[in-house]
Structure 1
Amino acid sequence: MERYSAYKDSGVDWIGEIPEGWKTIKNKHLAYIRARLGWKGLKAEEYVDDGYPMYSAFNCVEGNLCPTPVNYISRERYDESPEIMLSDGDILLVKDGAGIGKYAVIRKVEKPATVNGSLAVISPTPNMESRYLGYFYASMQFQDYIHLLMDGMGVPHLFQRDLKQVPVIVPPKAEQQSIADYLDEKTGVIDAAVKDIERSIELLNEYRQSVISEAVTKGLDPTVPMKDSGIDWIGQIPEHWSVLYPKKLFALRKERAHADDQQLTASQKYGVISQKRFMALENQRVMAVLTGNDILKHVEAGDFVISMRSFQGGLEYSYESGKISSAYVMVHPFTEQTYSEYYKYLFKTWAYIQALQSTSNLVRDGQALRYANFAQVYLPVPSIEEQQMIAHYLDDATENINSLIQQKQSLVVRLKEYRASLISECVTGKVKVPGVEE
């Protein structure tokens, strides 16, 4: 795309130069900005099944209003805050929590609605195209700047007074509309492509799960005679397999942490790995454990960790030895007929996770699962040789599927980066959209 013929200094360091005919104006002069003040929220019993929609940060998705999930409130509660009743052209901007900066443009109000305390409602003045202003809020420059303004103890917060002072780049109204039209078209194509790729990732995840489930409960030879396992979640198994009570295969590990143990982190995404590696993979810091080893537990590579989230995503496999919080429960194989790598896959199948969920007292005293729950779910037991064969087969099969998933995830990241870059270049005047006359 072309550049404008002449530029000038915007007078704002983080904006830089803008086209000659554009202006830089504070947000408060371009829109009416307001939010719920002093609101203490609603009790669960105050929500109704069919009333007035009350949107939250979850409804702001890539600049568009996603109608679900949403809570509904009564007419009485809706009428309490007339200043934040939504109108066509309003922009919702997340001002609280991890999602600060996400936004949605209300193209058309289908039903009288309002917002909760996490959102600011921004109504542009007549000389502003709301779609353009929304795209400006999506620009990398605006996003970087407001994240410098965030405040709050524990929960990040963007104050209205700061939001009102943020400079906005303002082209002539007709040019705002041209930019918004162009970005609507281009981001629509990108968003559709991302949606298709994300759906293909979901299908690959489902396929990987089916490959794992089939192998760990049916084996690798489709010609062997089968029998009923007698266990609902397992179903039919090869005739020569057995089914055993978990306590005959796994024992509790009760060791306290060793003096030289490294700190471990348990996650559904990576299993149990060193805290240092987890921080590198996630590019984030983790709160260091400052307590003594006397209240931490030792974990051996090959152990399984029962965490507070195991009822959602199965047991976490430990790839390394070290120490971990005493809130976790560790089990380890103690017989020669138990191969950890085979059970690493089995403990992540949907059928096994559902079996765990069916055990009693899943949530009690802050704990999601205990050893007693684990012990209730009977397990299939192939021969040790077959366990090893299945594990090695799944290592190869899932590596190929995971590689495809990673390629598609990388493509999604690149498309989203391109989307953000395109928006930023257009709304800051670094490029001139087709059809604009100077």
Structure 2
Amino acid sequence: MKVFHVNQGNLHETYVTVPPCDVQRRIVSYLDERCAAIDDDVKKRQKVIERLKEYKKSLIAHAVTKGLDPTAEMKDSDIKWVDQIPSNWQTSKLKALFQITKRIAGVEGLTVLSITQDGIRPKDFSTGKGQFAETYSHYQLVHPGDFAMNHMDLLTGWVDISRYEGVTSPDYRVFSARDLAVSNPSYYLYLFQMCYLNRVFFGSANGVADKGRMRLQTNAFNNFVVPLPPLEEQKRIAAYLDERCVAIDEAISRQEQLIEKLGEYRKSVIHHAVTGKIDCTEA
């Protein structure tokens, strides 16, 4: 990859416009005022994004642990990270609901899947970023509908349901629902991702948090206790969160797009001011 830079010789030979000092002062005053206003707008939109993300987290956490009926009778959950659950819900260890699989591919040529915080994606080899293996035949198979989880690093790891046929690192955890008449994958995906975002898994993990190595070992995963709503209620919760989260994500995306446009506008204001294309005499 070619890296471009400005050396001292290039800098000395560069020509710049030099307006009169009083004009320079007016330009600086103009840009101070305009850039401050733009920066203030950006900060406000960043705060809106932060509030939307926090709202999304709390919305998911409440739905997957308390359900959708605000009048529902509650009971003690006997789960250390949930105080109460609806009285018609049960609880279960994950090993009763999900089965860990370890199917080694044994061949090359399959799509290599990465588990990112944007979900499970085919690995992009063109960027040259990330780790590469000499062979991928020892990677484990992932089928569409399987959960794949980076349990090796609970700080930056993630869990998702794969939409792809492929392979992923043998160090990751691949698992699937034992009985779809008991557990709805979409509901439990929201619950698992909430456990990452709110660091719920930390209570059952091993490692050193400040070194980024909190791991959820197999035994801890199997014995992790979760709410078990009736199946139809799981489906309703998942459908509700699908709709609400899409709306929140779209609101976040709009704010991010506006921030990007404000950044471009800020650059154009500076460019036009320092090159004399804006009259700054009234600044």
Tell me if 1:196 matches 2:52: no
Task: Give the residue type in structure 2 aligned to 1:261.
Answer: L
Q: CA RMSD in A?
A: 3.0
Matched residues, number: 274
Task: Note closer, same or farther for the CA distance 1:227–1:168 as it changes in structure 2 (3 Å cut).
Answer: farther
> Which structure 2 residues correspond to residues 4-403 of structure 1 after superposition, within 5 A?
148-149=4-5, 161=8, 165=12, 167=14, 169-172=16-19, 173-257=21-105, 259=108, 261-268=110-117, 270-275=118-123, 286=129, 289=132, 291-302=134-145, 303-312=147-156, 314-336=158-180, 337-349=182-194, 353-363=198-208, 368-369=214-215, 370-403=217-250
Task: Note closer, same or farther for the CA distance 1:351–1:297 as it changes in structure 2 (3 Å cut).
Answer: closer
Q: Which moved more, 1:338-347 or 1:251-260?
A: 251-260
Give me the whole-angstrom Cα distance separating, in 2, the residues matched to 1:253 and 1:225.
38
- Could you tell me how far 1:234 is from its partner in structure 2? 1.7
Tell me if 1:433 matches 2:279: yes
Give me the whole-angstrom Cα distance separating, in 2, the residues matched to 1:332 and 1:189.
51
Q: Which has the higher contact order (CA 8 A, sep 6+)?
A: 2
Task: Note closer, same or farther for the CA distance 1:185–1:206 as it changes in structure 2 (3 Å cut).
Answer: same
Q: What is the match of residue 271 of structure 2?
A: 424
- Could you tell me how far 1:189 is from its partner in structure 2? 0.6
Tell me if 1:409 matches 2:256: yes
Give me the whole-angstrom Cα distance separating, in 2, the residues matched to 1:367 and 1:351.
14
Task: Give the residue type in structure 2 aligned to 1:215.
Answer: A
* Alignment check: 8 A CA contact 2:148 2:172 kept: no
- Could you tell me how far 1:389 is from its partner in structure 2? 1.4
- Could you tell me how far 1:290 is from its partner in structure 2? 5.2
Give me the whole-angstrom Cα distance separating, in 2, the residues matched to 1:195 and 1:335.
47
- Could you tell me how far 1:368 is from its partner in structure 2? 3.7
- Could you tell me how far 1:161 is from its partner in structure 2? 4.5
Give me the whole-angstrom Cα distance separating, in 2, the residues matched to 1:165 and 1:377.
65
Deviation track 1:54-77 (CA, whole Å, cap 9, x = no partner) reads xxxxxxxxxxxxxxxxxxxxxxxx
- Name the SS for the 1:390 alignment partner: helix
* Alignment check: 8 A CA contact 1:178 1:433 kept: no
Give me the whole-angstrom Cα distance separating, in 2, the residues matched to 1:371 and 1:170.
66
- Could you tell me how far 1:346 is from its partner in structure 2? 0.9
Larger-gyration structure (1/2): 1
Task: Give the residue type in structure 2 aligned to 1:393.
Answer: Y
- Could you tell me how far 1:188 is from its partner in structure 2? 0.6
- Name the SS for the 2:82 alignment partner: coil
* Alignment check: 8 A CA contact 2:144 2:164 kept: yes
* Alignment check: 8 A CA contact 1:314 1:352 kept: no
Deviation track 1:389-409 (CA, whole Å, cap 9, x = no partner) reads 111111111111111111111
Task: Note closer, same or farther for the CA distance 1:435–1:218 as it changes in structure 2 (3 Å cut).
Answer: same
Give me the whole-angstrom Cα distance separating, in 2, the residues matched to 1:432 and 1:324.
55
- Could you tell me how far 1:252 is from its partner in structure 2? 1.9
Task: Give the residue type in structure 1 aligned to 2:189.
Answer: K
Deviation track 1:263-322 (CA, whole Å, cap 9, x = no partner) reads 212111x1112235x98xxxx564584532332121223313124443456534433231
For structure 2, the residue ranges without an aligned partner over 5 or more in a row are none
* Alignment check: 8 A CA contact 1:312 1:353 kept: no
Give me the whole-angstrom Cα distance separating, in 2, the residues matched to 1:273 and 1:426.
44
Give me the whole-angstrom Cα distance separating, in 2, the residues matched to 1:358 and 1:326.
24
Please identify which structure carries the higher helix content: 2
Task: Note closer, same or farther for the CA distance 1:201–1:366 as it changes in structure 2 (3 Å cut).
Answer: closer
- Name the SS for the 1:148 alignment partner: coil
Task: Give the residue type in structure 1 aligned to 2:206.
Answer: N
The TM-score with structure 2 as length reference comes to: 0.84
